[in-house]
């Protein structure tokens, strides 16, 4: 019984982390049809900025509870500085090109940002542990979990619900849905599609950076962290269907639970169980579980 509870809790915690890390990717794809490999870089940048800024401020005597705001602020800073620069300065000229070519462009940017991170922060791991332990922990059975994980679950839920609300209930959201379905007609109707793209890209970057920033207190920030998140986010998003928010949620839950089960019951399989699930889903439903129907243009 204890093990079942542990599997569920671990699954939920991991799923919420996956979800927060992946929604940025699916949002950008859904709106701009770009498979953004720089997603990993935004995640890493968010984590590094959060770790170093929070660490420095805490060392200077900042009130520890403020560190959560600093984490959020670091993510916002990354998104507001790097993302518009990338979108306006480079991607905007590439929209006419093939999907795959744009993906390769984002891959090139990812490579460059990886080294930029190393040049700015060096190769040593960073960590800022205070925010993690500050909120105390809760106990279930014989297991202890820090309350920080509840914060992560909360963030995932808020981001997901927030996005759903914005998309369906606000004017901006509905315009965005129009842009998703048909950018040309939207442009013809007077919607400033370019601005929507800029905002979407920046917001997607913010989501990725936020995931990184809030993950930073739980681990040590290392140069390789961007690479892994790309593959994981891809898997989640592809399983759920590119561009679909519900898909990302379902994908995250599936992957999180499967991984949790395998860790508790069959640890040796953990290594490739995620690719296996991804290949399985793709084989059965080529476009993912909740894919958006697209009209084929002849």
Partner 1 sequence: MKTKLLTLVASFSLALITTTSQADENAPIKVGVVTFLSGPAAGPFGVPARNAAEITAELLNAGKAPAPYAQKGFGGAPLQLVLVDEAGSTTTQVTEFRNLVQRANVDVVIGYISSGNCLAIAPVAEELKKLTVFFDCGTPRIFEDGSYKYVFRTSPHATMDSVGAALYAKDVKPNAKKFSGINQNYAWGQDSWSDFEGSMKQLIPAAQVGTSQMPKLFAGQYGAEISALLASGSDIVHTSFWDGDLEAFILQAGPRGLFKKSTVILTTGETAMYKLAAQIPDGVIIGARGPFGVFAPNNELNKWFSSNFTDRYNVPPNYAAYQMTQSFLGVKTAWEKAQAANGGKRPTPEQVISAFEGISFESPGGKVQMSLGKGHQAVMETAYGMTKKVSGKMTVEKVKRYPAETVNPPEGIKSADWIKNGFKK
Partner 2 sequence: MSAQKEPSRPDESSLPRADSSVTTVLTIAGAVLLLSLAAPQWAKFLLTIALAKGLVVLGLLPQMRTGLVSFGQALYYCLGAYAAGLAAKWFAVSDLILMIFIGGSLAAVLALVVGVLLSRYRSIFYGLLSLALSMILYGLLVKTEALGSTDGFNVAPFTLFGYRPEQDSVRNVMLVVVTTIATVSALVIHRHLRTPLGRMTTAIRDNEIRLEYMGASARRVIYVNYVIGAVLAGIGGAIVAAAVGHIDPEMAYWTMSGEFVFMAILAGTASVLAPFLGAAIFSAIHSFAFDVSPNTWQMILGASLLLVIVFLPDGLWSLFRRAERS
**Which does residue 10 bind out of partner 2, partner 1, none, counting CB within 5 to 8 angstroms by kind?**
partner 1
Residue 13 binds which of partner 1, partner 2, none (CB < 5-8 A, kind-dependent): partner 1
Phi, psi of 175 (to 5 degrees): -65, -40
CB closer to partner 2, 107 vs 145: 107
Instruction: Say how far apart CA 137 and CA 143 lie, in whole Å.
Output: 10
Could you say which of partner 2, partner 1, none residue 50 binds, taking C-beta under 5 to 8 angstroms by partner kind?
Answer: none
Nearer to partner 2, 155 or 281 (CB): 281
For position 116 contacting partner 1 by CB under 8 A, the verdict is no
Nearer to partner 2, 108 or 161 (CB): 108
Q: How far is the CB of 46 from partner 1 (least distance, A)?
A: 14
How many Å apart are CA 38 and CA 108, to the nearest integer?
9
- Closest approach, Cβ 82 to partner 2, in A, equals 15
Report the residue number, 7 or 81, with the smaller CB distance to partner 1: 7
Q: Which partner, partner 1, partner 2, none, binds residue 182 by CB below 5 to 8 Å per kind?
A: none
Nearest CB to partner 2, comparing residues 188 and 279: 279
What DSSP letter does each residue of the chain carry, written as one string? -HHHHHHHHHHHHHHHHHHHHHHHHHHHHHHH----TTHHHHHHHHHHHHHHHHHHHHHTT--GGGHHHHHHHHHHHHHHHHHHHHHHHTGGGGTTS-HHHHHHHHHHHHHHHHHHHHHHH-SS-B---HHHHTT-EEEETTEEEETHHHHHHHHHHHHHHHHHHHHHHSHHHHHHHHHHH-HHHHHHTT--HHHHHHHHHHHHHHHHHHHHHHHGGGS-B-TTHHHHHHHHHHHHHHHH-TT-HHHHHHHHHHHHHHHHHHHHH-GGGHHHHHHHHHHHHHHHSTT-TTPPP-PPP-
Q: Does 52 sit near partner 1 (CB under 8 A)?
A: no
Nearer to partner 2, 28 or 58 (CB): 28
Give the C-alpha separation, 43 to 38, whole Å.
9
Confirm or reject binding of residue 266 to partner 1 (CB under 8 A): no
Residues contributing to the site for partner 2 (CB under 8 A): 35, 90, 93-94, 97-101, 103-105, 107-112, 114-116, 118-119, 123, 231, 234-235, 238, 242, 268, 271-272, 275-276, 278-279, 282-283, 286-287, 296, 298
- Per CB under 8 A, contacts with partner 1 among 124-163 are 124-125, 127, 129, 132-133, 137, 142-146, 149
For binding to partner 1 (CB under 8 A), which residues are involved? 2-3, 6-7, 9-11, 13-14, 17, 118, 122-125, 127, 129, 132-133, 137, 142-146, 149, 215, 217-225, 228, 259-260, 263-264, 267-268, 270-271
């Amino acid at each position: 019984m204890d093990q079942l509870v542990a599997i569920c809790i671990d699954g939920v915690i991991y799923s919420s982390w996956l979800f927060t890390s992946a929604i940025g990717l699916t949002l950008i794809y859904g709106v701009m049809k770009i498979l953004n490999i720089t997603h990993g870089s935004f995640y890493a940048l968010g984590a590094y900025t959060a770790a170093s800024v929070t660490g420095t401020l805490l060392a200077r005597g900042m009130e520890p509870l403020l560190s959560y705001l600093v984490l959020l602020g670091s993510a916002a800073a990354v998104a507001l500085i790097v993302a518009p620069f990338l979108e306006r300065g480079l991607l905007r000229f590439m929209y006419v090109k093939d999907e795959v070519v744009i993906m390769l462009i984002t891959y090139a940017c990812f490579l460059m940002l990886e080294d930029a991170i190393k040049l700015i922060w060096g190769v040593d791991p960073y960590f800022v542990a205070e925010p993690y332990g500050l909120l105390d922990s809760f106990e279930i059975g014989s297991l202890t979990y820090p309350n920080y994980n509840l914060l992560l679950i909360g963030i995932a839920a808020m981001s997901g619900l927030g996005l759903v609300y914005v998309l369906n209930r606000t004017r901006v959201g509905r315009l965005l849905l129009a842009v998703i379905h048909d950018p040309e007609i939207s442009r013809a109707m007077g919607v400033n599609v370019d601005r929507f793209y800029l905002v979407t890209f920046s917001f997607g970057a913010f989501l990725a950076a936020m995931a990184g920033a809030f993950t930073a207190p739980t681990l040590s920030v290392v140069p390789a962290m961007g690479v892994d998140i790309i593959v994981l986010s891809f898997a989640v998003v592809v399983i759920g269907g590119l561009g679909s928010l519900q898909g990302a949620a379902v994908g995250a839950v599936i992957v999180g639970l499967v991984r949790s089960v395998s860790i508790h019951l069959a640890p040796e399989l953990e290594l490739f169980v995620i690719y296996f699930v991804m290949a399985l889903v793709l084989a059965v439903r080529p476009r993912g579980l909740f894919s958006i129907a697209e009209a084929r243009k002849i």
